[in-house]
Structure 1
Amino acid sequence: MSLPSLADRAIVLQAHAADWRAAVRLAGDALVDSGCTTAEYTEAMLRLVETHGPYIVIAPGLALAHARPGPEVRQDGLSVVTLAEPVEFGHAHNDPVSVVIGLAGVAADAHLSAVADLANAFNDSAAIQALARATNREDARAILEGRRVS
């Protein structure tokens, strides 16, 4: 699996977000806090949604916040934010969102590989619900790695 490691500082459980912007910002802040990106990367993630709409809402309840590789990315990184109350992104079929994954890649090929690995992790829609209910970081990691959580 080529997913970047998931630092403790990159996992935020049961957070409160007023709207989609705040939810994406939480995922971006977790990438910054874990040393993977600069704050400019978070702003780029927000701009992409503002420009292209809620395309990052890739499955019911799940958003994959990301931006293009660039100087704002210090190292490949992943963040996970679960929301205490789901928020609307404006997606016709997959709202509301309760899990926001932040993804940052130094190089385009690694970025695409990580997206594919995340898609595999969420092939089972129950994984999204399980992640939304995770109560600790180890369970969140296990779910992303495709391991069952008891």
Structure 2
Amino acid sequence: MTIMKLRISRTASAVALLASCLAVAPLSAQQSSPPAEQAPDSGSMEPSPVTVNPSSPEEQAAREAANARQLEMSNAQLQQNAANQAEYDARRSSYESQMKLYENTVESRARAEAEYAQIKQLYDAIHAQWEADVAACNAGNRKRCAQTPPPMPQ
């Protein structure tokens, strides 16, 4: 039964394909014919209508003027593009310099804060030791009292 279904589906596909080809064939045959307006190309080496009937001096002058205006506008656009690129490059360079300065400032501040923390820790330890020595001295432990400095020579 599976083989039977396979044969039916192949047959149905072939019929559908044949029908679609027959339906498209007349359309393509109609489209391939050249339009009635154009004469078929004879293959001759005759000059083109523009060569046979060149433009008048006024038309040529107008075309040259239009081309000159277009060239001026094109050159102006190129100059504007170059100026825009130079301004962009300058702003980008300034931005990168500012970012580098900012990064250096942040790093410098972080180093300064770390150094300050170390110094403060050392100071706090020395101050705590001094307070303990003063308390011990006031309590009677004379070894922890500060010694009187020797007199200064005069």
Larger relative CO (CA 8 A, sep 6+): 1 or 2?
1
Return the structure number with greater strand share: 1
Return the structure number with greater helix share: 2
TM-score, structure 2 as length reference: 0.16
TM-score, structure 1 as length reference: 0.16
